[in-house]
């Protein structure tokens, strides 16, 4: 790879004897990885090997992901660069926590955080870019998250709605992307010597908003995919100089992980508690991770005004005609939210969202059509097979027909809506009419598998 001369000069000076091995690593292939979704009933992939485990992530593995597989379509696996997985491991929220993923697209950190929350608490996944927020919502839905909302706001707008609210805030900040040069060669083209400092200034503004939303005693996890000290140690040094109620929490270092470099900032020894991942020392791309805690306070954080259901009596009737025959346990009517023609199940105790740009206010249950309700793919993916009444088991061949948009036949199945199960994984809904499964797999997601 042809690296900018200024980049080579900068890191040759910073890394000294390490520089040749570091610079040579850019000529090697990028490392690929994926996580297995622990929220699914079946957790062993069918089409992807789990023999090469990532040591610092209990459900992480090295390897590439094929999108045209049952593993991927059902949300059983999620493709993520291995180094980036350590951010979710450091954050490691608990079930019941209130968590904010402030710069969340495309969804790797969000799905990782949710893996530890066991569908409880609240996870707000925010992305400022509208198009990327849409991609984020799609990944959240495929992973089957019930406790997650997706917002499309700037951090300074979001801070007004969630004052000192979250137990954990993750800021995987937009950065100069030096650590992704091997994975994304275009990132090399827009790098300049001044770019890291420009990114650092933007990151400080994001961090200011993040801290306003972090409750006393809460944890802030800051990460970048760059090597630049301006965006890494120097930003943490700035935080410690600016906020007297913050301190750095140590991060466990696995073999190959480096301490942060205090000498690259203001020589504060606390910076060594942060973590650096270099591609010449680890099987992964470049990453920096810091964990800080806000000083606990005796003051009580006020609960925010809850989001109220706005579903009409007629809509509830249409929903229950389908849901009462599909689900083993009903969803509380108080959690139902009409969003245009779509019906969502909000996470419990969701704050009022009416003044926010929301992409996904919970689980997309389906869509209201004239005098009827049609269940959605996200409803199927968000629950386990045991959560549904009378599921229909389909073969691998039938699953291939399903994702291609074809109908197929079943035997001894009553008419009506049924969740479809393949290899103990929910894959979607079909409507059975006289032994034929009518296909309702979304047209934009359909694909063909060539044997």
Residue 321: inside a domain: no
Please give the pLDDT value at position 188: 93
Q: Find the domain containing 22 and state its range.
A: 5-294
Please give the pLDDT value at position 290: 98
Please give the pLDDT value at position 401: 96
Residue 426: inside a domain: no
Which residues touch 257 (CB under 8 Å, ≥6 apart)? 86, 275, 276, 277, 281, 282
Residue 141: inside a domain: yes
Residue 329: inside a domain: no
Please give the pLDDT value at position 63: 98
Which residues touch 13 (CB under 8 Å, ≥6 apart)? none
Instruction: Give the residue ranges of the annotated binding site for S-adenosyl-L-methionine.
Output: 103-109, 127, 172
Q: Distances from the Cα of 291 to the Cαs of 92, 102, 142, in angstroms?
A: 11, 15, 29
Q: Distances from the Cα of 365 to the Cαs of 74, 86, 299, 416, in angstroms?
A: 16, 32, 39, 17
Task: Give the three-class secondary structure for 257.
Answer: coil
Residue 248: inside a domain: yes
Is 199 a known active-site residue?
Answer: no
Please give the pLDDT value at position 187: 86
Please give the pLDDT value at position 184: 87
Instruction: Give the residue ranges of the annotated binding site.
Output: 103-109, 127, 172
From CA 261, how far away is CA 381, in angstroms rounded? 43
Residue 189, both tokens: 């083209």
Edge to edge, the sheet with strand 416-422 lists: 392-393, 416-422, 425-433, 436-439, 408-409
- pTM, full prediction: 0.97
- CATH number of the domain that 17 lies in? 3.40.50.150
Could you say which of 57, 175, 199, 225 is catalytic? 225
Please give the pLDDT value at position 146: 98
Q: Which residue has the tokens 């959605």?
A: 376
pLDDT (tens digit, 9 = 90+) per residue, 275-316?
A: 999 999 999 999 999 999 999 987 766 789 999 999 999 999
- Taking alpha carbons only, the member of 243, 228, 237 closest to residue 290 is 237
Residue 419: inside a domain: no
Residue 434: inside a domain: no
pLDDT (tens digit, 9 = 90+) per residue, 390-445?
A: 999 999 999 999 999 999 999 999 999 999 999 999 999 999 999 999 999 999 99
Show pLDDT as tens, one digit a residue, over the chain (451 residues). Answer: 899 999 999 999 999 999 999 999 999 999 999 999 999 977 789 999 999 999 999 999 999 999 999 999 999 999 999 999 999 999 999 999 999 999 999 999 999 999 999 999 999 999 999 999 999 999 999 999 999 999 999 999 999 999 999 999 999 999 999 999 999 888 899 899 999 999 999 999 999 999 999 999 999 999 999 999 999 999 999 999 999 999 999 999 999 999 999 999 999 999 999 999 999 999 999 999 999 999 998 776 678 999 999 999 999 999 999 999 999 999 999 999 999 999 999 998 899 999 999 999 999 999 999 989 999 999 999 999 999 999 999 999 999 999 999 999 999 999 999 999 999 999 999 999 999 999 999 999 999 988 6
Please give the pLDDT value at position 186: 85
Residue 435: inside a domain: no
Tell me how many domains the chain contains.
1
């Amino acid at each position: 790879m042809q690296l900018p001369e200024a980049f080579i000069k900068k890191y040759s000076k910073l890394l000294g004897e390490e520089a040749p091995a570091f610079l040579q690593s850019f000529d090697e292939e990028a490392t690929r990885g994926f996580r297995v979704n622990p929220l699914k009933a079946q957790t062993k992939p069918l089409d992807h090997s789990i023999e090469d485990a990532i040591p610092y992530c209990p459900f992480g593995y090295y390897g590439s992901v094929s999108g045209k597989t049952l593993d991927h379509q059902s949300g059983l696996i999620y493709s993520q660069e291995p180094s980036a997985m350590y951010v979710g491991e450091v954050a490691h929220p608990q079930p019941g926590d209130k968590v904010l993923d402030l710069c969340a697209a495309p969804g790797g950190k969000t799905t990782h955080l949710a893996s530890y929350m066991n569908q409880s608490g609240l996870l707000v996944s925010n992305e400022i870019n509208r198009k990327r927020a849409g991609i984020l919502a799609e990944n959240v839905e495929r992973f089957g998250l019930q406790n997650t909302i997706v917002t499309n706001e700037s951090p300074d707008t979001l801070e007004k709605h969630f004052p000192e609210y979250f137990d954990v805030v993750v800021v995987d900040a937009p950065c100069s992307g030096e650590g992704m040069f091997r994975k994304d060669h275009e990132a090399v083209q827009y790098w300049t010597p001044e770019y890291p400092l420009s990114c650092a200034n933007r990151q400080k503004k994001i961090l200011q908003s993040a801290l306003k939303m972090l409750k006393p005693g809460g944890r802030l996890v800051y990460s970048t995919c760059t090597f630049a000290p301006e965006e890494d140690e120097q930003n943490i040094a700035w935080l410690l100089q600016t906020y007297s109620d913050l301190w750095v929490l140590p991060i466990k270092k696995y073999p190959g992980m480096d301490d942060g470099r205090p000498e690259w900032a203001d020589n504060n020894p606390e910076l060594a508690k942060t973590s650096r991942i270099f591609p010449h020392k680890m099987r992964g791309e470049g990453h920096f991770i810091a964990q800080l805690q806000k000083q606990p306070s005796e003051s009580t954080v006020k609960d925010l005004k809850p989001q109220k259901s706005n579903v009409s009596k007629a809509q509830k009737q249409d929903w229950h005609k389908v849901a009462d025959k599909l689900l083993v346990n009903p969803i509380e009517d108080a959690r139902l939210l009409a969003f245009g023609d779509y019906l969502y199940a909000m996470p419990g105790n969701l704050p009022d969202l009416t003044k926010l740009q929301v992409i996904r206010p919970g689980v997309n249950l389906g869509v209201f059509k004239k005098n009827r309700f049609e269940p959605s793919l996200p409803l199927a993916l968000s629950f386990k097979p045991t959560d549904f009444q009378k599921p229909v088991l389909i073969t691998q061949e039938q699953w291939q027909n399903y994702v291609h948009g074809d109908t197929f036949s079943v035997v001894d199945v009553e008419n009506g809506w049924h969740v479809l199960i393949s290899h103990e994984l929910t894959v979607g809904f079909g409507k059975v009419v006289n032994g034929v499964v009518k296909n309702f797999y979304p047209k934009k997601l359909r694909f063909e598998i060539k044997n």
